[in-house]
Amino acid sequence: MSDSLVLAATQARENAHAPFSKFRVGAAVEDETGRIHTGCNVENATYGLTVCAERVAIFKAISEGARRFTRVAVVADTGTLTPPCGACRQILWEFCGDVEVVMANLQGKTESVRLGSLFPRAFDASFL
């Protein structure tokens, strides 16, 4: 994988805590300075308290002072590329806007889409 963002997400996936689903996901978000922030999914026995890789990466980036983002990568070990879930799409929209989302798997398959195509008519602060 030559894309540093996808590589970072792939490496973050190795840290996933997914003892129940075994569905390990890594994510990476690139801020406007080119810095890459990573995250992995962290499951909990109650399931409802599980946090997805994309949200971990965004929250980590925000906690480190990043505020503007250019790309997001999501990596899972699936034949069909895995997009962010609905909750992650909402968080990504609020913090990143119509960002490029790179979906990838461990076999090297990738696809890039704009978040707006995954999340049409998104709800955000403009409605408040």
* Active-site amino acid positions: 54
Instruction: Reduce the DSSP state of residue 71 to 3 states and report it.
Output: strand
R_g of the chain computed on alpha carbons: 14
**How many C-beta neighbours within 10 Å does residue 108 have?**
10
Dist CA 1 CA 106 (whole Å): 9
